[in-house]
Amino acid sequence: MPFRWNPELQSQDITPESWFRERRRLLQGAAVVGAGVLLGVEPFGEVTAKSEPLSDVRPGVVTLDEAQTPFKDATGYCNFYELGSGKEDPSRHGGKLVTDPWSVLIDGEVARPGSVSLEELLKPHPLEERVYRMRCVEAWSMVIPWVGFPLGDLLKRFEPTPKARYVAFETLHDPKQLPGQSRNVLQWPYREGLRLDEAMHPLTILAVGMYGQRLPNQNGAPLRLVVPWKYGFKGIKSIVRITLTEQQPVTSWNLQAPEEYGFFANVNPEVPHPRWEQSSERRLGEFRRRETLPFNGYAAQVASLYAGMDLARYF
């Protein structure tokens, strides 16, 4: 078939290399492959991290009546630049990350700063499952059942001071465990941040699992942030530090390319990325594009946080 260039194609319309290679491998190994088989191919390789079931997980109060992304897809096609910039790199290299023991430092504008182990951090917080629609800035999306607890419950435990207006997060910095940090793709360690009211919102959770199992390393084990109305790069992974601040914190992608990645990162179909449109998205594993929803479909719950703000300016 001759190649025809379509000038309207954008980067998010290109079939990922991993999907192409997997389909090619299946085609080579089959005598006859029908169109229905092609559409049913699971495109991703094996997940390197072993899964471990979580017990005593209660259903969350916020769910979506949408088909969930298959576990294999959600764990095999990831953004975790500390483990590599390719979508399959995290699942290939995730086994190098040691997540036990693990501790998190909570400091800054809090009355009771301190470092706590993951076990201590989890003790007062019952785990619940939240089914959230997550959207990556590259215009693909997933529906994932995360297991975790509200971030606000943790912050209250350390007693924010009246000066606390923002919450800063920091990822582990260890190139031996996270080989992607050996490359100058970003200024390491990875940093993210929220306004305090965003952090305290009940939709914002710290996740320790997904699909009823402990987080695989490639998805941010053992502790990651989930903010479902924002783009995926806000979901910082493998968190080792949470700092409450008076001033807006520096965040990694905003520092790297401020014209492309704003601090707020609210999903807004009316604000295009400089290199592609964001008014539509493709659910991972699907081919038909769908309309992007303001605040990723959570406008009823979170739009009031931004009342009166120019969302095109504060993107």
* Tens digit of each residue's pLDDT (9 = 90 or more) over 173-231: 999 999 999 999 999 999 999 999 999 999 999 999 999 999 999 999 999 999 999 99
Look at residues 137, 77, 141, 143 and name the one whose alpha carbon lies nearest to residue 282.
141
Categorize the per-residue pLDDT at 109 as very low, low, confident or very high, splitting at 50, 70 and 90. very high
Helix H, strand E, coil C: the string for 200-258 is: HCCCCEEEEEECCEECCHHHCCCCEEECCCEEHHHCCCCEEEEEEECCCCCCHHHHHCC
Taken in order of first residue, the domains within the chain and their CATH numbers are 44-306 (3.90.420.10)
Angle (nearest 5°) at CA 195 between 249 and 242: 60
Q: Distance between CA atoms of 124 and 222, rounded to whole angstroms?
A: 17
Categorize the per-residue pLDDT at 127 as very low, low, confident or very high, splitting at 50, 70 and 90. very high
DSSP element (H, E) containing 9: none
At residue 255, the pLDDT reads 97
pLDDT at 24 over 80: no
DSSP-assigned states of every residue in 106-140 = EEESBSS-EEEEHHHHHTTS--EEEEEEEE-TTSE
Q: Distance between CA atoms of 47 and 140, rounded to whole angstroms?
A: 20
pLDDT (average), residues 56-76: 90
Residue 2, Cβ density class (10 Å: 0-12 exposed, 13-18 middle, ≥19 buried): exposed
pLDDT at 11 over 70: no
Q: What is the pTM of this model?
A: 0.85
> How many Cα atoms sit within 13 Å of 30 on the Cβ side?
13
